Structures are given as C-alpha cells and as structure tokens.
C-alpha cells in the first residue's frame, strides 16, 4: 500500500473521531482494510457451469492492494483471482469509497470480469445478488511477428514483460493514458494443463486497475505453431483501446452501458456501508 493511501485512510478516520475511537496507527488501519477486503472475497463463491460444475478456487493472496488519488471520495481496494487448477477464470476487485453525502461512511463495491469460456455463477455471501454471465469472457487475439516462447521459464517471463512494455492503453475520458504495471499481477504455475505459460498484466489509474490483459505463451502442437495470444478484461465502464508499439490497435471497446448480472463484466455498487473506525482486524 502507498503513502498516499495511508494519508487517505488517516483523513477518513479523523472525520469520525468524535463518534468512534480513532485508529491512530495508520499502518494498522491499512492492514485492517486489507483483511476486510480479503474476508469479503472469501465470501464469494464462483462456479463454472460445466458438466460436472467446477467450483473455482480463490487465490490465497490478493494480487494487488490499490488506491486512486486521481478520483474523489478516497477510493481503495484489493484485486482477487479465482482459478481452476491455477488457470485464471474470474478476476475482480473488492473496494470502497467515501459516501458522498455522509463522508463518515464508506460504500463497499465489487467488480468482476469472466476469464472463462463457460457460463459462470457467482454468489456474494449475505446477499441475494447473483452474477451469472452466459457468454465466454475471453476474446483471444493472436500476436504476430514475435519470437517463439523461450524454453526457459525464467526467460519467458522476460519475454512477457518485454511484450507488455510495448502496449499502450487509452480511452479514459479526461484522465489520460493508463499506466502499465511492469510486473505481472499473476504468473501461471508450472506444468499447467493447456498453455505453456501465462501472466496477467494490469493498466492502472493511480494504482487502481482499469484494464487487465492476460498474455499466454502457446507451445507447438500437431497442426499448430508456437506463439503468443492475449485476452483483455475491462474493469471500467469507460471506452478502452489497447495498442502495440507500432500504434496498431490490438483491441478496442466502447463505453460499457449494461451493468446486468448476465454480462461478462459486472459492477455491484454500494453493497455495504461501513464506518472506517470500526473496521479492525478483530472483527474479521
């Protein structure tokens, strides 16, 4: 977590100091919010509707803890991943922001994007809401003109970082280009079934992810050649464009206007309201 987030949390806690005990140790407040987000993520059950159905596994650690000083209302949260034997199937965030009318309160939100070919069903603990995308959340795009994936796992990571460094993501209204985090948020484990290797990269505003790009290395198989492919996963309603180092458009998407429970991207707004000063480790 950043010093900016520490300052934000300190200011939020101060706003309710007259009503609740202040969390004077900012590091403790940050840890408490992080634990709170993780506890809410554990309450999400995501299932692929295959035959038989597969209950996905929540990755044990958050991929990223973030803040967004660019936007108002003191936003911060965590990125979480649900997998099937190490392969990503759902990526999402649990995050909160100040209530605009009551700054002493924070509103809790969820965002999800499917990384599964199959229909999904995800439930949120203590809520009647169900996220159930019916379509594949994958839009695979072949990357041409690149060297074949290296046989060395270590050198493949270098290749993936170099490939990602050539991308540029735009389209965030008046907020400018998104910034690529140089290290992937997630690296596929060794000896997975299917692709040779893979990683998830993130484009951020502040440190807040707005676009994920899954990059996979494919081994040569009978009838196919070795190579690379990507699938983008939005986490914003803003229009987005992803370009390569030659300024060629790899992928673009208009503004997202359908926040329905059956879409591959979903935004669950204002699920809970919480006082910052009562979010503490002992309550999780």
Determine the average pLDDT of the residues in 140-160: 97
Mind listing the pLDDT tens digit for each residue in 192-249?
Answer: 999 999 999 999 998 999 999 999 999 988 888 899 999 999 999 999 999 999 999 9
Q: Where are the alpha helices (DSSP H) in 81-141?
A: none
Question: Cis (ω within 30 of 0) for the bond into 52?
Answer: yes
Determine the average pLDDT of the residues in 18-43: 70
Residue 105 confidence (pLDDT): 85
Distance from chain centroid for Cα 140 = 18
Percent of the chain topping pLDDT 70: 86
Residue 51 confidence (pLDDT): 95
Residues 146 and 233 sit within 8 Å (Cβ to Cβ)? no
Whats the size of the chain, residue-wise? Answer: 284
Q: Which residues contact 280 (CB under 8 A, 6 or more apart)?
A: 23, 28, 32
Interatomic CA distance for residues 143 and 236, integer angstroms = 24
Q: Maximum CA pair distance of the chain? A: 70
User: Lowest-confidence range among 13-27, 131-145, 182-196, 212-226?
Assistant: 13-27
pTM of the model as a whole: 0.86
Q: Would you call 277 helix, strand, or coil by DSSP?
A: helix
Determine the average pLDDT of the residues in 178-202: 96
Q: Name the nearest CA neighbour of 8 among 69, 66, 64, 62.
A: 69
- Tokens matching residue 165: 């460094």
Q: Name the nearest CA neighbour of 93 among 188, 211, 1.
A: 211
Helix (H) or strand (E) holding 253: strand 249-253
Q: Where are the alpha helices (DSSP H) in the chain?
A: 3-15, 26-42, 153-165
Residues 40 and 94 sit within 8 Å (Cβ to Cβ)? yes
Interatomic CA distance for residues 149 and 146, integer angstroms = 9
Backbone angles phi, psi at 200, to 5 degrees: -115, 120
pLDDT-derived band at 48 (thresholds 50, 70, 90) equals very high
Mean pLDDT of the chain: 86
Angle at alpha carbon of residue 210, lines to 267 and 6, rounded to 5°:
95
Q: Which residues contact 125 (CB under 8 A, 6 or more apart)?
A: 40, 43, 44, 45
Interatomic CA distance for residues 277 and 269, integer angstroms = 22
List residues bridging with 251 in a β-sheet.
242
Residues 101 and 204 sit within 8 Å (Cβ to Cβ)? no
Interatomic CA distance for residues 251 and 230, integer angstroms = 10
Interatomic CA distance for residues 160 and 279, integer angstroms = 39
């Amino acid at each position: 977590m950043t010093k900016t987030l520490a300052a934000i949390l300190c200011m939020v806690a101060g706003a309710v100091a007259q009503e609740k005990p202040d969390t004077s140790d900012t590091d403790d407040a940050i840890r408490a919010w992080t634990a709170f987000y993780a506890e809410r993520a554990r309450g999400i059950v995501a299932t692929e509707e295959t035959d038989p159905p597969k209950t996905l596994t929540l990755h044990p650690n958050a991929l990223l803890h973030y803040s967004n000083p660019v936007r108002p209302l003191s936003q911060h949260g965590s990125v979480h991943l649900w997998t099937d034997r190490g392969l990503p199937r759902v990526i999402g965030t649990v995050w909160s922001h100040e209530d605009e009318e009551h700054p002493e309160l924070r509103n809790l939100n969820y965002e999800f994007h499917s990384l599964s070919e199959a229909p999904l069903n995800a439930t949120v603990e203590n809520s009647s809401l169900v996220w159930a995308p019916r379509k594949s959340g994958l839009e695979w795009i072949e990357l041409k003109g690149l060297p074949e994936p290296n046989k060395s796992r270590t050198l493949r990571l270098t290749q993936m970082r170099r490939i990602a460094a050539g991308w540029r993501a735009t389209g965030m209204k008046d907020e400018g280009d998104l910034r690529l985090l140089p290290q992937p948020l997630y690296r596929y484990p060794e000896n997975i079934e299917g692709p040779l290797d893979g990683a998830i990269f993130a484009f951020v505003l502040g440190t807040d992810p707005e676009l994920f790009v899954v990059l996979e290395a494919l081994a040569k198989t009978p009838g196919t050649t070795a190579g690379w492919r990507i699938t983008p996963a939005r986490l914003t309603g803003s229009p987005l464009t992803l370009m390569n180092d030659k300024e060629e458009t790899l992928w673009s998407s208009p503004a997202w206007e359908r926040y329905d429970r059956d879409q591959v991207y979903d935004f669950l707004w204002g699920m809970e309201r919480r006082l910052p000063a009562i979010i503490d480790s002992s309550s999780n």
